[in-house]
């Protein structure tokens, strides 16, 4: 029997542990190539999670044995508030193939913006509750460091109630990780996480432990009630390739992995977040260390960016980092747009960022899950100069078709790239192509 878990008042993890197959598992299962027993086992032991858009009853599975998923972040800034534009970006991201959205607004009426985005997408929506807590502290007290501790817990509950599927919560940035940051004589790029930087300022100014760490059980109680997935935030992530893997980052990661165990024992679904900026030769170790220390919790990487100099092209830098991360086992990639480091992304930037991240996820899955069926099919179509099939197996069929039409008169021969020097046209009469997937058919 399939149980609708939302009604059963259990988290997906608790259901999986009891061997109950839920509607959410069924939904994820039907979109993936994984055996039912593996999916339920992975959810039970915390190696996979299921995100739920509660307003539209849509689900997305993330983690072991599942395809790499991509997130598109949208949201207002304090100096650019255009709610219609953010809703447009949400639709562009969904149409472009994003698996989840993060609504990261910091300017305007945050409850209203979140509601508008939730009403206009069927993707699971994530947030960073600290943003709203600091926003409200600024509005009420004119100073974010005056944020009362309870406010962030109220915001978490309010956002859960509104239908948020997952939350980046910075519980691992505690006094120990802050001490590690101070002792290593700081960094090239300092702190780049908004939530992390504001939280550090709050802890220093109030001379207090991070309430999200100190009262971690209160966080878990709320998330469990709504089966909102906990994404343990990476507030000390490097903003420069020079700073990657430093002691502060490692300290926070260790604490996050400890908290991940506690969340699992509590029945809460949990993801661990990673970098950031990281040199390409450190990616393998980064994924393996996170997987080992967290007992294979789903790993959510923000990019990562493999160089610091690609301003205007950071979607490419992050696609390189994302593809490698996924190939080594990362499960969830946050896209980066061409506007990264330069300004608030436009709808067009969102579209480019989503496409770049989708390519990265696919490249990773070719290695991680041996998922190369479309690559074989498009290669064969290229050999046979079958344009319809080439479009069909492209990552963006519409765009491929549009470019082809723009650059060619007809579709009977090769294309305008080589004209009469088309290699497949020249050679095909000499060979019988009967080879499929490396073997004679």
Query: Which residues bind to ligand SF4, rule: CB under 6 A?
Result: 385, 414-415, 417-418, 422-424
Pick between residue 8 and residue 418 the one whose CB is nearest to ligand SF4.
418
Pick between residue 2 and residue 427 the one whose CB is nearest to ligand SF4.
427
Pick between residue 204 and residue 413 the one whose CB is nearest to ligand SF4.
413
| Nearest of 372, 364, 350 to residue 98 by alpha carbon | 350
| Nearest of 99, 117, 100 to residue 108 by alpha carbon | 117
What is the dihedral sign for C-alpha 26, 32, 37, 40? negative
How far apart CA 227 and CA 249 sit, in angstroms, is 28
Look up tokens 């991240």; give the residue: 357
CB of 417 to ligand SF4, least distance (A): 3
CB of 373 to ligand SF4, least distance (A): 21
CB of 319 to ligand SF4, least distance (A): 23
CB of 266 to ligand SF4, least distance (A): 56
Pick between residue 221 and residue 383 the one whose CB is nearest to ligand SF4.
383
Output the six-digit token pair for 99: 């698996």
Instruction: Give the H or E element holding residue 351.
Output: helix 347-368
CB of 395 to ligand SF4, least distance (A): 18
| Nearest of 301, 300, 302, 294 to residue 263 by alpha carbon | 294
* Contact yes or no for 400/390 (Cβ under 8 A): yes
What are the CA-CA distances from residue 38 to residues 2, 43, 45, 265 (Å)? 17, 9, 11, 20
The three-state secondary structure class of 229 is strand
Pick between residue 418 and residue 435 the one whose CB is nearest to ligand SF4.
418
CB of 391 to ligand SF4, least distance (A): 13
CB of 408 to ligand SF4, least distance (A): 9
The residue length of the chain stands at 441
Output the six-digit token pair for 22: 């839920």
Q: Where are the beta strands (DSSP E) in 135-228?
A: 166-169
How many other CB atoms sit within 10 Å of the CB of residue 143?
11
CB of 7 to ligand SF4, least distance (A): 54
* Contact yes or no for 50/21 (Cβ under 8 A): no
Residue of minimal Cβ distance to ligand SF4:
414
Pick between residue 369 and residue 425 the one whose CB is nearest to ligand SF4.
425
Instruction: Give the bridge partners for 59, in sequence order.
Output: 52
By DSSP bridging, strand 229-232 and strand 166-169 are parallel
How far apart CA 300 and CA 234 sit, in angstroms, is 10
Pick between residue 91 and residue 383 the one whose CB is nearest to ligand SF4.
383
Taking the chain, what is the end-to-end CA distance rounded to the nearest angstrom?
A: 41
CB of 405 to ligand SF4, least distance (A): 14
Pick between residue 342 and residue 423 the one whose CB is nearest to ligand SF4.
423
The three-state secondary structure class of 302 is strand
Pick between residue 83 and residue 415 the one whose CB is nearest to ligand SF4.
415
Pick between residue 8 and residue 423 the one whose CB is nearest to ligand SF4.
423
Pick between residue 201 and residue 415 the one whose CB is nearest to ligand SF4.
415
CB of 259 to ligand SF4, least distance (A): 52
The three-state secondary structure class of 124 is coil
| Nearest of 36, 35, 123 to residue 87 by alpha carbon | 123
CB of 425 to ligand SF4, least distance (A): 6
The three-state secondary structure class of 227 is coil
């Amino acid at each position: 029997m399939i149980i609708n878990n939302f009604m059963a008042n259990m988290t997906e993890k608790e259901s999986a542990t009891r061997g109950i197959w839920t509607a959410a598992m069924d939904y994820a299962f039907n979109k993936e190539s994984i055996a039912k027993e593996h999916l339920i086992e992975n959810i039970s032991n915390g190696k996979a999670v299921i995100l739920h858009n509660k307003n539209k009853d849509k689900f997305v599975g993330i983690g072991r044995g599942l395809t790499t998923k991509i997130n598109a972040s949208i949201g207002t800034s304090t100096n650019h508030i255009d709610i219609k534009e953010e809703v447009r970006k949400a639709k562009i991201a969904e149409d472009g193939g994003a698996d989840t959205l993060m609504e990261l607004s910091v300017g305007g009426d945050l409850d209203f913006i979140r509601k508008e985005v939730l009403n206009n997408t069927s993707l699971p929506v994530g947030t960073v509750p600290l943003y709203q807590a600091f926003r409200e502290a600024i509005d009420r007290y004119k100073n974010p460091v005056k944020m009362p501790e309870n406010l962030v817990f109220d915001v978490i509950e309010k956002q859960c109630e509104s239908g948020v599927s997952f939350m980046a919560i910075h519980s691992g940035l505690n006094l120990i990780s802050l001490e590690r940051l101070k002792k290593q004589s700081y960094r090239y790029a300092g702190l780049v996480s908004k939530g992390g930087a504001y939280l550090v300022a709050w802890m220093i100014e109030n001379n207090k432990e991070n309430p999200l760490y100190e009262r971690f059980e209160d966080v878990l109680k709320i998330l469990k009630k709504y089966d909102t997935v906990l994404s343990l935030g990476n507030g000390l992530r490097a903003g420069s390739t020079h700073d990657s893997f430093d002691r502060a980052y490692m300290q926070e990661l260790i604490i996050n992995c400890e908290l991940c165990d506690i969340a699992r024992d509590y029945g809460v679904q949990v993801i661990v977040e990673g970098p950031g900026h990281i040199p390409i030769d450190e990616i393998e170790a980064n994924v393996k260390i996170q997987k080992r220390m967290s007992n294979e919790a789903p790993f959510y990487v923000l990019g990562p960016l493999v160089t610091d100099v690609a301003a205007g092209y950071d979607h490419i830098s992050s696609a390189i980092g994302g593809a490698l991360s996924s190939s080594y086992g990362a499960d969830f990639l946050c896209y980066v747009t061409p506007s990264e480091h330069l300004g608030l992304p436009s709808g067009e930037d969102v579209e480019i960022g989503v496409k770049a991240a989708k390519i990265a996820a696919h490249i990773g899955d070719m290695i991680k899950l041996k998922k190369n069926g479309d690559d074989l099919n498009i290669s064969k179509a290229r050999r046979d100069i079958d344009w319809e099939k080439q479009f069909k197996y492209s990552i963006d069929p519409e765009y491929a078709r549009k470019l082809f039409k723009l650059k060619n008169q007809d579709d009977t021969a090769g294309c305008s790239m080589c004209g009469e020097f088309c290699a497949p046209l020249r050679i095909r009469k000499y060979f019988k192509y009967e080879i499929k997937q490396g073997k004679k058919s």
